[in-house]
């Protein structure tokens, strides 16, 4: 084992190990595929081991690659911790926080409260549209924090993340004006039997969301809509939705769109376990503020309470709220308006 192993080689290996695809991993790292392949070969030469089995159809981890995976994560986490410990100001760099979408919602409420708790920290919003993609960006060091259904991620992505439960988000259905169910104030799940509902199928960024939908719809006669063009922005999303005519699975806080109505789902009330996730080993005062904000809002709004007729994926049991993290000196600690 060389004493001066370049951390970049470990990051390249981790990216391929998470995607099991060189082209996608190179795109996430913003480097050429040839450069990524060269980094992996250099790492294999340095360690004297074959880490990835490559064929024309697939990439798989070898036993040595499986053995390296947790070690590489720990080395990179320690590398980041070392850099943070000796930074002139641990909070001087912006903390990049993915809200999934540019609109109202739980993640936005947590971010705004954190900005109140730590006004000297720069908490920069990002909009990555899907936790599967955001988690890979966190692993690659291009993003710090995100929100979503963390238990729906693959094991390789989950292994490098720390997480905190934030809210059991009630789900809703977004319906085009004129849909037969649009006149109802609430839509029972049984009323969607025979419907084809869009839940992000075919979008590689939102695999966790599609997986939750498949579990919720199973045995209820509800079909998941086939892949549609991935729309960026509210106007494009509304246009594509109206064009297909399919209802859309959403959360109750999803933005209202012209030409559509949003209706809560009932019988049972389906819940999406929303967690805040970040890279293991990350230390930043902005992260402390986010954790304190999430704990305060969850307690103040009952976000982690499950209704008697609530449904959770995987038969999950409700999690206890996490304790609040220390906040910035002099920051107000009482819950304020907003939230779910």
pLDDT digits over 167-189, tens only?
999 999 999 888 899 999 999 99
Q: Which residues contact 308 (CB under 8 A, 6 or more apart)?
A: none
- Of the pLDDT bands very low, low, confident and very high (cuts 50, 70, 90), residue 339 is very low
**How many Å apart are CA 104 and CA 297, to the nearest integer?**
15
Task: Please indicate, yes or no, whether the overall pTM of this predicted structure exceeds 0.75.
Answer: no
For the chain, give the mean pLDDT.
83
3-state secondary structure of 261: strand
Beta strands in the chain (DSSP E): 52-54, 59-61, 95-98, 123-126, 145-148, 161-176, 187-188, 196-197, 223-224, 248-251, 260-266, 269-279, 310-311
Whether the upstream peptide bond of residue 268 has omega within 30° of 0, thus cis, is yes
pLDDT for 240 equals 67
Would you say the CATH fold of 169-270 matches that of 7-85? Answer: no
Position with higher pLDDT, 41 vs 85: 41
3-state secondary structure of 269: strand
pLDDT for 234 equals 64
pLDDT for 73 equals 84
Distance of CA 309 to the CA centre of its chain: 26
What Rg do the C-alpha atoms of the chain give, in angstroms? 21
- Tell which CATH architecture fits domain 7-85: Orthogonal Bundle (1.10)
**Widest Cα–Cα separation across the chain:** 68
Residue extents of the structural domains in the chain: 7-85, 95-168+273-309, 169-270
pLDDT in tens, 128-167: 778 998 998 888 788 999 999 999 988 878 888 999 999 9
Q: For the purposes of burial, counting CB atoms within 10 Å of the CB of 3, is it exposed (0-12), middle (13-18) or buried (19 or more)?
A: exposed
pLDDT for 333 equals 26
Listed range (9-13, 191-195, 302-306) with the worst mean pLDDT: 9-13
Residue 301 has pLDDT above 90, yes or no: yes
**How many Å apart are CA 264 and CA 251, to the nearest integer?**
8
pLDDT in tens, 211-239: 999 999 999 999 998 876 666 666 676 67
CATH class (in words) of the domain with range 95-168+273-309:
alpha beta
- Of the pLDDT bands very low, low, confident and very high (cuts 50, 70, 90), residue 88 is very low
Contact 70, 13 (CB under 8 A): no
Strand 269-279 vs strand 145-148: parallel, antiparallel, or unpaired? antiparallel
**How many Å apart are CA 32 and CA 229, to the nearest integer?**
26
Give which of 142, 141, 140, 160 is closest to 150, Cα–Cα.
Answer: 160
Position with higher pLDDT, 199 vs 281: 199
Residue 29 has pLDDT above 80, yes or no: no
Residue 89 has pLDDT above 80, yes or no: no
The CATH superfamily assigned to 169-270 is: Periplasmic binding protein-like II (3.40.190.10)
pLDDT for 329 equals 36
- Of the pLDDT bands very low, low, confident and very high (cuts 50, 70, 90), residue 104 is confident
Q: For the purposes of burial, counting CB atoms within 10 Å of the CB of 166, is it exposed (0-12), middle (13-18) or buried (19 or more)?
A: buried
**How many Å apart are CA 171 and CA 183, to the nearest integer?**
18
pLDDT for 111 equals 96
Element containing residue 90 per DSSP (H, E): none
Residue 310 has pLDDT above 80, yes or no: yes
């Amino acid at each position: 084992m060389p004493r001066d192993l370049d951390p970049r080689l470990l990051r390249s290996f981790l990216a391929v190990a998470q995607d099991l695809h060189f082209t996608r991993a190179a795109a996430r790292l913003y480097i050429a595929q040839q450069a990524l392949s060269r980094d992996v070969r250099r790492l294999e030469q340095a360690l004297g081991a074959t880490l990835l089995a490559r064929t024309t159809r697939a990439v798989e981890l070898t036993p040595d690659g499986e053995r390296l995976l947790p070690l590489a994560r720990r080395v990179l986490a320690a590398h980041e911790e070392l850099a943070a410990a000796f930074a002139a100001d641990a909070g001087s760099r912006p903390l990049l926080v993915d809200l999934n979408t540019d609109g109202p919602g739980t993640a936005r409420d947590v971010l705004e409260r954190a900005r109140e708790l730590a006004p000297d920290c720069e908490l920069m919003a990002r909009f990555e549209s899907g936790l599967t993609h955001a988690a890979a960006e966190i692993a690659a060091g291009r993003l710090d924090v995100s929100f979503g259904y963390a238990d729906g991620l693959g094991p390789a992505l989950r292994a490098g993340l720390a997480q905190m439960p934030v809210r059991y988000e009630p789900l809703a259905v977004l319906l085009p004006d004129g849909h037969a169910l649009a006149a109802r104030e609430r839509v029972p799940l049984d009323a969607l039997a025979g419907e084809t509902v869009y839940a992000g199928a075919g979008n590689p960024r939102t695999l966790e969301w599609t997986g939750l939908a498949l579990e919720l719809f199973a045995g209820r006669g509800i079909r998941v809509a086939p892949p549609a063009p991935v729309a960026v922005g509210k106007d494009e999303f509304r246009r594509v939705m109206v064009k297909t005519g399919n209802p859309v699975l959403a959360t109750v806080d999803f933005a209202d769109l012209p030409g559509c109505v949003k209706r809560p789902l009932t019988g049972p009330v389906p819940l999406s376990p929303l967690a805040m996730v970040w890279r293991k080993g990350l230390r930043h005062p902005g992260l402390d503020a986010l954790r304190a904000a999430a704990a305060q809002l969850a307690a103040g709004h009952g976000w982690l309470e499950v209704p008697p007729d609530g449904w959770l994926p995987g038969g999950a049991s409700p999690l206890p709220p996490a304790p609040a993290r220390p906040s910035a000196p002099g920051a107000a600690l009482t819950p304020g308006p907003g939230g779910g």
